[in-house]
Structure 1
Amino acid sequence: MVTIKIKTWKDWKKDFIDWVKEPRRKTCKEYVDYMEALQKQSLYKIIEDTCDKYNNMREGQIQDITEAVEKCVAACAKETRKLIDDCQPAKFF
């Protein structure tokens, strides 16, 4: 048995809108995740190098600085994802 599905204008319109909005939102959020990971790696290296330069810092102080930077990067990534959702809403119509 052969089934033929005929697409109407409404089907084409829905497919087009889904094609336009979803890949961009998903791709943008993937870029945010990637940048967040890169920033964490580079910031850890910079913090280590800077703290090694000043020998009078304790391990607890270095850990506190690292945690503060982690929170900052996570907050920025969260706000960026929210901005992506606001700029490219799930429904156009």
Structure 2
Amino acid sequence: MIVIKIKTWKDWKQDFLKWVQTPRRSTCKEYVDYMETLQNQVLYKIINDTCDKYGNMREDQIQDITEAVERCVAECAKETRKLIDDCQPAKLL
């Protein structure tokens, strides 16, 4: 027995919308994760280099600055992921 499946315009539209939106959302979040990791690595180096230049800072002061910057980056990444969820809905229709 041969079965022929004929797709209608509605089927094509649904397939297209799923194809376009699903990868974009996960790709955006992966990019945010990558940027967060990269920023943390770069910021640690820059903070340590800058603090070494002045030489009169204690280790606990440097650690406090590093932790504050890390919290800022984490909060920005969290808000960006939330924005992606709001702007790129999981499903349409």
- Offset, 1:36: 0.7
Match of 1:6 in 2: 5
Identity %: 74
Equivalent pairs counted in the alignment come to 92
Match of 1:89 in 2: 89
Where structure 2 has 5 or more consecutive residues not aligned to the other structure, the ranges are none
Structure 2 residue identity aligned to 1:71: R
Structure 1, residues 58-91: CA drift from partner, whole Å, max 9, x if none?
Answer: 1111111111111000000010111111111112
Distance 1:18 1:65, change over 3 A: same
Tell me if 1:22 matches 2:22: yes
Aligned partner of residue 92 in structure 2, secondary structure: coil
Distance 1:54 1:8, change over 3 A: same
Taking only aligned residues, the RMSD between alpha carbons, in angstroms, comes to 1.9
Paired with 1:62 and 1:92, the residues of 2 have a C-alpha distance of 48
Structure 1, residues 18-60: CA drift from partner, whole Å, max 9, x if none?
Answer: 1111111011111111111111111011100011011111111
- Superposition map of 1:66-77 within 5 A: 66-77=66-77
Distance 1:75 1:4, change over 3 A: farther
For the 8 Å contact 2:32–2:80, the answer to whether it is kept is: yes
Q: Give structure 1 regions of 4+ aligned residues with deviation exceeding 4 angstroms.
A: 2-5
